[in-house]
């Protein structure tokens, strides 16, 4: 299992008031360059000082982050050695992208832990075949999204290359 996605809470003054954004970029990076909407995983529905734990009940995901995540998987997944090997092993069908937080990866996978799928034909991932799962949860009762080492490295690399946010951009374009 990969190391967990780094989760940070950043308090930001927005035109709508103070918000506590959940992000997976280091605090220093957030303060140095601002929070572009793509790096905001979600927002806390109550102030962080009133929250004992970040649970699904106090968290709202950010659609911009979710769309960015799926775009990274669709673009980078077909070239990852682990997925290529699984497609070759499988031959035909689907390669599922399973959230690594799932409790029983060899057994029944709940819908909220299926991130998406790639079609496989003749042992190869079909180009442009990625389909995201609308039932996947960024945060479930079992914790935040865990991608596995290869996909997590891709996500963090692409998040690091997102252009710096302009002041107020997180609030103005957040898409929560």
pLDDT digits (tens, 9 = 90+) for 8-47: 999 988 899 999 999 998 777 666 667 899 999 999 999 9
Label residue 32 left, alpha or beta by phi (over 0 means left) and psi (-120 to 50 means alpha). Answer: alpha
pTM of the model: 0.90
Q: Looking at the domain assignment, is residue 38 inside a domain?
A: yes
> Distance between CA 57 and CA 154 in Å, rounded?
29
Mean pLDDT for 159-166 is 78
Q: How is residue 104 written in tokens?
A: 């029983």
Q: Looking at the domain assignment, is residue 3 inside a domain?
A: no
Residue 138 pLDDT:
97
Residue 106 pLDDT:
85
> Distance between CA 20 and CA 52 in Å, rounded?
14
Q: Looking at the domain assignment, is residue 2 inside a domain?
A: no
Q: Looking at the domain assignment, is residue 150 inside a domain?
A: yes
Q: What is the pLDDT of residues 92-101, one digit of tens each?
A: 999 999 999 9
The domain tally of the chain equals 1
User: 104 falls in which pLDDT band (50, 70, 90)?
Assistant: confident
Q: Looking at the domain assignment, is residue 95 inside a domain?
A: yes
How many other C-beta atoms are found inside a 10 Å radius of the C-beta of residue 130?
Answer: 21
| 176 pLDDT higher than 50 | yes
Query: In the chain, what percentage of residues exceed pLDDT 70?
Result: 89
Where is average pLDDT lowest: 102-106, 137-141, 144-148, 168-172?
A: 168-172
**Sequence-distant (≥ 6) Cβ neighbours of residue 165 within 8 angstroms:** 33, 34, 35, 36, 37
Q: Looking at the domain assignment, is residue 126 inside a domain?
A: yes
Q: What does the buried/exposed string (b/e) look like for 133-155 if buried means 16 or more CB atoms within 10 Å of the residue's CB? A: beebbbbbeeebbbbbebbbebb
Q: What is the pLDDT of residues 50-92, one digit of tens each?
A: 989 999 999 999 999 999 999 999 999 999 999 999 999 999 9
Residue 165 pLDDT:
60
Residue 42 domain boundaries: 8-173
Q: Looking at the domain assignment, is residue 1 inside a domain?
A: no
**Backbone φ, ψ for residue 97 (5° rounding):** -95, 110
Helix (H) or strand (E) holding 90: helix 81-90
């Amino acid at each position: 299992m990969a190391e967990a996605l780094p989760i940070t809470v950043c308090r930001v003054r927005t035109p709508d008031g103070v918000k506590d954004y959940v992000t997976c970029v280091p605090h220093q990076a957030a303060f140095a360059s601002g929070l572009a909407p793509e790096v905001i995983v979600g927002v806390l529905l109550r102030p962080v000082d009133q929250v004992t734990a970040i649970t699904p009940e106090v968290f709202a995901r950010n659609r911009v982050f979710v769309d960015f995540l799926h775009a990274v998987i669709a673009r980078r997944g077909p070239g990852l050695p682990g997925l290529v090997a699984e497609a070759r092993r499988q031959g035909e069908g689907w390669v599922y992208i399973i959230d690594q937080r799932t409790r029983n990866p060899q057994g029944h996978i709940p819908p909220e832990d299926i991130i998406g799928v790639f079609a496989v034909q003749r042992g190869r991932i079909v180009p442009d075949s990625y389909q995201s799962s609308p039932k996947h949860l960024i945060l479930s009762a079992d914790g935040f999204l865990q991608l596995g080492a290869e996909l997590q490295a891709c996500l963090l690399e692409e998040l690091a290359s997102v252009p710096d946010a302009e002041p107020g951009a997180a609030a103005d374009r957040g898409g929560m």
